[in-house]
Amino acid sequence: MSKVRLVDIAYARSGDKGDISDIGLMAKSKESYELIKKKVTSDRVKQFFGDMVKGSVEVYPMDNIDALEIVMREALGGGATRGLRIDGTGKPICQALLRMEIETD
């Protein structure tokens, strides 16, 4: 089974609201979008981040721009105003997701 890393087929940007981290995962092509839409599920994202994401994960498709919006709760150690992480707003978290490997079939 062949695999591909998300960094090779998508771009990402993340932001925060309170303890919620949002990742916009944008496919580099239509074909890649169909793949990430199928494979990047909420369960898989939750598992990938392990104890960094303590709450639930929701994934919303944006067919108009070939992107997924991934909403991760309890993901910023309490949120930027009270957490202990150096990146309280979690901007680099989107790039961590790009390490994920998914199956191409």
Partner 1 sequence: MKTVAIGHCAMSWGDILEPGVEMAKKANIQYMAFDFLGEVTMSLLYRMRLRDPSRGYIPDIVPWHRALLPLARERGFKLVANWGGANPEAAGDAVVNLAKELGLTGLKVGVIVGDDFSDRIDEMRAKGIKFPNLDTGEEDLDRIKDKMAGAYAYIGADSVIEALKQGADTVIGGRLSDSACLVGPWMYEFGWDYKEPYWNKIGAAITCGHIVECSSSCTGGMMCSLWKDIPQQWNISDPICELNENGEAIITKTPSPGGLVNTWTVKEHLVYEIHDPRNYLMPDGIADFTTPHLEDAGENRVKVTNMSGKPRPDTLKVGIGYEEGWRQEAQQWFCWPDALEKAKRAEFNLREWIKHDARLNPVAMQVDYMGFNMLHGSVVKVPEPKDVPDLPEVGLRVCAKFNTREEADYFRREWSRWTGFDSGFCFNTTAAPSAPARIIALWPTLVPREEIPTRVIMKEVK
**What are the residues binding partner 1 (CB under 8 A)?**
11-20, 22, 24-26, 28, 48-52, 58, 60-65, 67, 69, 71, 73-74, 77-82, 84-89, 91-96, 99
Residue closer to partner 1 by CB (options 87, 103) is: 87
Question: In terms of Cα–Cα distance, which of 87, 52, 91 is closest to 72?
Answer: 52
Residue closer to partner 1 by CB (options 39, 73) is: 73
Task: Name residue, tokens 């303890």.
Answer: 19
Enumerate helices (H) and strands (E) in the chain, giving the number of each: 4, 6
CB of 30 to partner 1, least distance (A): 14
Amino acid at 16: D
Q: Are 75 and 21 in contact (CB under 8 A)?
A: yes
Residue closer to partner 1 by CB (options 93, 105) is: 93
